Structure 1
Amino acid sequence: MKTFDLKPQLFDTLKSYNKKNFMSDLMAGIIVGIVALPLAIAFGIASGVTPEKGIITAIVAGFLVSLLGGSKVQIGGPTGAFIVIIYGIIQKYGIEGLTIATIMAGVFLILFGLLKLGTIIKYIPYPIVVGFTSGIAVTIFTTQIKDLFGLTIDTVPSDFVEKWICYIQHFSTADLWCSLVGVVSVIIIAITPKFSKKIPGSLVAIIVMTIAALLLKQYAGITSIETIGDRFNVSNAIPDVQVPVMTWETIKSLVAPAMTIAVLGAIESLLSATVADGVIGDHHNSNTELVAQGVANLASPLFGGIPATGAIARTMTNINNGGRTPIAGIIHAVVLLLIFLFFMPLAKYIPMACLAGVLVIVSYGMCGWRSFVALMKNPKSDVTVLLITFFLTIIFDLTVAIEVGLIIACLLFMKRMSETTDVKVIMDEINEESDISKGNIEHLTIPEGVEVYEINGPYFFGAGNKFEEIMASFGDRPKVRIIRMRKVPFVDSTGIHNLTNLCEMSKNEGITIVLSGVSEKVHAQLQKARFYDILGEENICSHINLALERAKEIVSGK
C-alpha cells in the first residue's frame, strides 16, 4: 500500500542541485518577479484593497508555495479569479472579515490535503470550470470600465446589470486622456509578445504610460489622469503580524465565502500544476500542493495580504524562462520583496487607466471564449451546466455559482453513474461463454418457474429503482428469482437496503431469491450488513450453474 507522502518537492530537488540549476532558476525567478509586480498591484486594487497588499500577498504566498508545495515550478500569489470574491467579502464583512475568511480557507485547504482530496477536486466537470472562469473574466472586465475611460461616477452599483446601466448613463463623462492611456496600454500589452517573449507587456505598458502621464502633467498641464497616489497612500513598510479577533458568530457567517475561496484556490492551483506537468514532463503531488496553498493562505492575511493560489500565467512564465525547481519561485518572492522595499513609492505615479488596461488583458486571457464556444456544441446537459454557472457568476456572485455548480456536478455524476448500471432480464436460455479464446459457448436452459436477472455495473441508489421497475413489469410470479451479480464491482447502503426489501417482499409472496457470481468485495459488504440472515447462505452461489441447480431444487420442492 502506498504511503501518504506530504514531503515538499524542494527537498527532493536539493539532493541533486547544482550551479547550472541555480543560474537557470535565478534568471527565471527575476523575470517572474518582474512579471508578478504589475499584476499584484492591479489585483490588489481591483479587489478593493491597497496596492501594497497585493504585493505582500505575492511575496508571502509565493515564498511558502514554492517552499512547501508539491509542484517543482508552481508560482503562487494573488490571481484574477479571486477579485470578485474578495471585493464582495470586503463590501459585506470589511477587511477584518476578509482576513478571517482567508485564514479559514487556509485551514480548509490544509484539511483537503490531509484528507487526500487533491485528486478528487481535479474531477470537477469541465463545463463548470469554464463557466465560472468565463463569468469571472466578464465581471473583472466590467469592474474596470470606470477607470479605463475615466468616468465620473460617485458610487458604482455592485449589481452587474445596474453597473452597465450606470456606465451607459455616465459615458458622456469619459475623460479623453484617461481613455487614451487605457486603450494604448491594452495595445502595448497585446503587441509586446510579438517583439519580446522575455519582457512582460504589462510592465512595458506601466513604464511607458507612467512616464507619459508625468510628461503630460508637467509640460501640457493635463491633470485629469488619475494615478494610484491620487487614490491610495502608498507605503513600503512591512506590516506587523496581526491576528484578528475571531468569534464563533463571525466564523459561522464566513463559512460559505471561506469555502468558496478554498475550493476555487484548490481548483486553480491544481489546474495550474497539472498544466505545468504537461510542459515539463513531471508529476506534482496534489495533496502536498493543497497543504502548501493552505499554509500560504494562513500566513498571507496575518501580514495584511489577500487570498492566493497557483497562478497559471506566472507558472508558465517561470517554465518558459528556465525555472525547473522551487528555488525559482523563492527567488521570485525575494525579487518582489526588494522591489517593494526600494521602489514601492514610485508606484503612486502609475495611472489607474493603465492598471485597468492590464486587467482588461487579464480578463481576456481568463475568459477562454474558444473553450466556451466549443462547449456550446456539446450535449445539452453540458451546455446547461455551462450557462447556469456562467450567468450565476456574473448576475449573483462566485459563492453562489460555485455552490450551485458543485451541486450540479454531484447531480450529473449521480445521473451518469446510474446510466452505467444496466439491469436486464434473461429469457429461456443463458449463453455462458466458458472459453472465449476457443469460441466455446455453453447454452444453459432456464427451468420453468425461474426468472434470471443480470446487473451490469455498480448496484447503488440509482440501480435499485431500475431493478424494481423491471420486475414489476412481469405479471407472472415465479418461484425463484436468480440475480446475477458477477459484473457488480460494489454495492452501497441504498443498494443493500433495496436488496433487503426485495428479499422480504419476495419471501412474503413465496418467491425465493438466489444470488449468483457475487464478488468477494460485495460478499463482504453484504455479510457485514447481515443481509444473509434474511437470504440464507445456501442461496448464495459462486456460479450461474450452481444457481440454476439450486433453483431446480427449490422448484421441485426438494
Structure 2
Amino acid sequence: MFSALRKSLASKITLSDIQENILSGLAVGVIALPLSMALAIASGVPPQHGLYTAIVAGIVIALSGGSKVNISGPTAAFVVVLLPIVQQFGIGGLLVSGFMAGIIMILMGVGKLGKLIEIVPYPVIIGFTAGIGVVIGTLQIKDFLGLNIEALNGDYLDKLLLIVSSLPTINWQELLIGALTIITLLLWPRMRSKIPGHLIALLVGSISAWLFSLLSQDFSVATIASRFHYEVNGLIGDGIPAILPAFEWPWNLPDANGNPIGLSFALIKMLLPAAITIAILGALESLLCAVVADGMSGKKHNPNDELIGQGIGNMIAPLFGGIPATAAIARTAANIKAGGSLPLASVVHSLFILGSILALTPLLAYIPMASMAALLLVVAWNMSEAKHFIHTIKVAPRDDVIVLILCFSLTVLFDMTVAVAVGMGLSALLFIRRSITLTQTTEMEKNHELHGELADNIVIYDINGPLFFGSAQKALQSISIVTPDLRVVILDMSEVNMLDMSAIVTIESIKDSLARQHIGLVINNLEPRMVVKLRRAGVRYKPGEIQFSRTIKDAVAIANEMISQ
C-alpha cells in the first residue's frame, strides 16, 4: 500500500522535478475540469459531483495507489454502468454502490489480483470498450441535436428508437452550437498548440451561444445553468454551487424518488451486482491505464497497490459527493507528456479543480449542453477504438473475431457485465478447444534410433502436450484399443507438462483395463511431481504390471524383461 508515494519520497526529488509536476498537474487540471463535468452529466448526476470526484479521488488514489503517474477521476467507461443505477436508485444509490465497489477493489488488491488485466483477452477489451463508446455516443445525440425528449429510459434499442422518432424535433440552434464545438475539437489538433483542444472548443461554443443571443432575442440554447439547479443550506441557485466538497453519508442522499435512500441489507443486496460491475470495470481500466503509463514513462507500477489505492479512493470519494472513479488513460497520457513523474501532479490537478469551483462556477454555468454533448461525442469516438476494432476483424483468427463481435453486441444491447462474463467464458472455451488440438498421441515406429529394434508385442505411444480435462480422453483413448498379441504398452510422457485429475482418472482406467488383459504398462520420463500425483491416486510400481523409467531405452529393456517373465 502507498508504494507510489513511498518510492517517490525515497527517490531524489529536485526542485526541477517539483516544478515540472506542478506545471503538469495544472495542464491536466485544465483538461479534467470540463471532462469531469461532462462525464457526471452523462452519468445522470449534476456536474459538481464529477468535480468532487476529480478532487477527492484524484488526491486519495494518487497518494495511496501503486502508480506514480496515473490520474484518476470520472471516466467515460463508467457512464453506461452508472446511468442505469442513477435512474433506478438515484444519486444516493450510486454513491452507496461506489462505496461498496471501493471495498471490493481493496479486497481484490489484498487478494493479489493485480494481474487481472493480463488474463482478459484483447478481443474482450476492445469489444466492450467499443460498445461503451457506441452507447455513450448514442446518449449524446439528444443534447447535440436539441431533441424534444424528456428522458432516455429503457434498453439501448428503446433509446435508439426514441431518438429516431424524435428527429423531427431537431433544434437548429442547439445543432449549430454543437457543430461549432465539434468542428473546433476536430480542427484544433492541427494548430499544434499546447492548449487543450476541448477547452478551446467549449470556449468557442459558449462564446458563440452568447454572441448569437445578443444578436437575436429568439436565440436560446440549454446551458448548465438552465439544466441544473441546487439548494444548499437554504441557498437556491442555478448551475454549479461554489462550495467545496462536504462530508455526507451516501445513504442520506436521495433515491430516484427524492427521499433519503437509507442503509439496509436489502439495499446492499440490490446494489451488490452494480458494485461488483463498478469494481471489475474500475480494476480493468486502472490496471490497463497503469500498463500504458509504464510503457510511456519507463516506470513500473505495483498492480495490487494500485487496486488498493483505487479502492480507498472509491470509498472516500462518495463521502464527499464523488461518483465512482478510476484511472483515466487520456489524462494520464497528458500528464506524462507534460513531464509528470510524481503523485504530486495528480494532487495539483485536483487542487486546480478545487480552485476552479470557487472562482469559475459563474462562468462554467454558461457552457451549452450541446457543447458538452459534442465533447462527449469525441470522447466516445476515441474510446470506441474504431481503427483497432476494424484491424482486429481483418487480421484476427475467426474465434477471436467472434468474441470481439459478441462482446461488442452484448455491451450495446445489454450491459458490460454480461459482455465481459460471456466474452471471458467463450474465450476460455475456445482456448480449451485450441489446447486440446495441441495434445497428440502417436505410435512410435518399431525400429527407431531412440530405442532400436522393438518386439511386435511391445508398442510405444509418444504423448505430447498437457493432459487435462479437455485433452486427456482424446489423447489417451487410442491406448485402450489393443491387439490380441500385445504384451506391454510404453507411454513416453517426456513432453507432458501438465496432469490434472481428469487425466489421472483416465490413466487409472487405462492401467486397470490393461491389467485385466494381462498387459504390462511402462510410464517413461514423467516429471517427478506428476509421478507423485499418480502414486497418490494408486498408479504405482507393481512388478509385472506397471513400472516407471527415465529413458526410452530403459523402458524398452523393462518391457522385454516383463515379456520374459
Give 1:520 deviation, angstroms. 2.6
Give 1:96 deviation, angstroms. 3.2
Match in the other structure for 1:310: 327
Residues 1:148 and 2:144 are matched in the alignment: yes
Name the % identity: 37
Whole-Å separation in 1 of the counterparts to 2:101 and 2:512? 48
Greater shift after overlay, 398-407 or 446-455?
Answer: 446-455
Q: Deviations over 1:41-86 (max 9, x none)?
A: 0000001111111111111221122112222211111111110010
Give 1:223 deviation, angstroms. 5.1
* 2:65–2:305 Cα contact (<8 Å) kept: yes
List alignment gaps of at least 5 residues for structure 2: 230-239, 252-261
* 2:37–2:47 Cα contact (<8 Å) kept: yes
Give 1:410 deviation, angstroms. 2.0
Greater shift after overlay, 523-532 or 504-513?
Answer: 523-532
Give 1:508 deviation, angstroms. 2.8
Would the alpha carbon gap of residues 527 and 71 (structure 1) be closer, same or farther in structure 2, given more than 3 Å must change? farther
Q: Deviations over 1:380-409 (max 9, x none)?
A: 111111111111111111121122112122
Number of residue-to-residue matches in the alignment: 542
2:268 to 242, 251, 258: 251
* 1:31–1:198 Cα contact (<8 Å) kept: no
Give 1:476 deviation, angstroms. 4.9
Please tell me the residue identity of whatever aligns with 1:239. A
Residues 1:235 and 2:241 are matched in the alignment: yes
Match in the other structure for 2:458: 450
Whole-Å separation in 1 of the counterparts to 2:543 and 2:29? 68
Would the alpha carbon gap of residues 101 and 512 (structure 1) be closer, same or farther in structure 2, given more than 3 Å must change? farther
3-state SS, counterpart of residue 461 of structure 1: coil
2:436 to 396, 418, 437: 418
Match in the other structure for 2:236: none
Match in the other structure for 1:172: 168
* 2:147–2:169 Cα contact (<8 Å) kept: yes
TM-score scaled by structure 2?
0.90
Give 1:475 deviation, angstroms. 5.2
* 1:479–1:510 Cα contact (<8 Å) kept: yes
Please tell me the residue identity of whatever aligns with 1:420. L
* 1:106–1:262 Cα contact (<8 Å) kept: yes
List alignment gaps of at least 5 residues for structure 1: 1-5, 433-442
1:405 to 423, 444, 459: 423
3-state SS, counterpart of residue 482 of structure 1: strand
Aligned ranges 1:149-548 → 2 under 5 Å: 149-222=145-218, 224-233=220-229, 234-237=240-243, 238-244=245-251, 246-377=263-394, 378-432=396-450, 443-472=451-480, 476=484, 478-532=486-540, 539-548=547-556
2:4 to 6, 9, 29: 9
3-state SS, counterpart of residue 539 of structure 1: strand
Greater shift after overlay, 363-372 or 263-272?
Answer: 263-272
Please tell me the residue identity of whatever aligns with 1:86. L
Match in the other structure for 1:3: none
Whole-Å separation in 2 of the counterparts to 1:64 and 1:373? 38
Greater shift after overlay, 92-101 or 68-77?
Answer: 92-101
Match in the other structure for 1:82: 78
Whole-Å separation in 1 of the counterparts to 2:483 and 2:273? 52
* 1:260–1:402 Cα contact (<8 Å) kept: no
* 2:29–2:352 Cα contact (<8 Å) kept: yes
* 1:124–1:409 Cα contact (<8 Å) kept: no
3-state SS, counterpart of residue 454 of structure 1: strand
TM-score scaled by structure 1?
0.91
Pairwise CA RMSD: 2.2
Whole-Å separation in 2 of the counterparts to 1:74 and 1:304? 22
Match in the other structure for 1:440: none
Greater shift after overlay, 12-21 or 446-455?
Answer: 446-455
* 1:113–1:290 Cα contact (<8 Å) kept: yes
Please tell me the residue identity of whatever aligns with 2:414. F
Would the alpha carbon gap of residues 367 and 394 (structure 1) be closer, same or farther in structure 2, given more than 3 Å must change? same
Would the alpha carbon gap of residues 495 and 92 (structure 1) be closer, same or farther in structure 2, given more than 3 Å must change? farther
Whole-Å separation in 2 of the counterparts to 1:476 and 1:235? 90
Q: Deviations over 1:387-443 (max 9, x none)?
A: 1111111111112112211212222332233333232222313443xxxxxxxxxx4
Whole-Å separation in 2 of the counterparts to 1:528 and 1:261? 44
Greater shift after overlay, 468-477 or 414-423?
Answer: 468-477
